[in-house]
Amino acid sequence: MRKKMLLLVATILLSGSANAAQDTRQQIKMPEMMRDHLLALHEIQAALAAGKLDQAAEIAEQRIGMSSLTKHNASHMAPYMPAAMQAIGTEMHHAASRFARSAHEGDLKKALTDLSGITQQCVACHAGYRVQ
Ligand code: HEC
């Protein structure tokens, strides 16, 4: 009985690792990317509070804005998202680039309004979609 159990466990473990070895699918690093978005928002707010608007603009553009698209491999990810979800993602990238422009211009009030335009898209997507 115990021997049978051990054999069963070993078989499950072995077949598990064999499957993992053959799995050539591309892994999408969505949670990692998301955590960096959150970190970027935090850094943006800290920079704004310190009066470093240019720095805030740079973080937004490079990490969330249109300039971040190639880094995130967006063209590989987009086909796996429903169209409406893709649209929210695209709007988020545009909003971040809009924020970057107003922060560069030194207009704090406009920058804050545009910052909420970014978080609005985070909230919209999280309210509608999940991965598991
Ligand atoms: C186009 C859709 C979309 C947008 C836009 C989006 N997210 Fe997400 N995010 C997701 C999905 C889907 C998950 C997985 C959530 C789940 O399954 O419950 C997620 C998860 C997360 C997580 C959890 C990561 C983890 O470790 O599990 C964080 C943090 C996060 N998002 C931050 C943000 C921030 C900040 C923004 C805006 C700057 C943002 N996201 C914009 C879709 C999006």
Q: Verify whether ligand 1 is closer than 6 Å to residue 28 (CB atom).
A: no
Structure tokens at 120: 């609005």
Ligand 1 and 130: CB distance under 6 A: yes
Share of the chain above pLDDT 70, in %: 79
Quick one: how far is CA 127 from the chain centroid? 15
Q: What is the pLDDT of residues 30-79, one digit of tens each?
A: 888 899 999 999 999 999 999 999 999 999 999 999 999 877 666 677 77
Q: Measured in angstroms, how far is the CA atom of residue 31 from the centroid of ligand 1?
A: 7
- Give me ligand 1 centre to Cα 44, in Å: 17
Mean of the per-residue pLDDT values of the chain:
86
CA of 91 to the centre of ligand 1 (A): 14
Lowest mean pLDDT among 18-32, 59-73, 112-126: 18-32
Rounded to a whole number, what is the distance in angstroms from the first to the last CA of the chain? Answer: 37
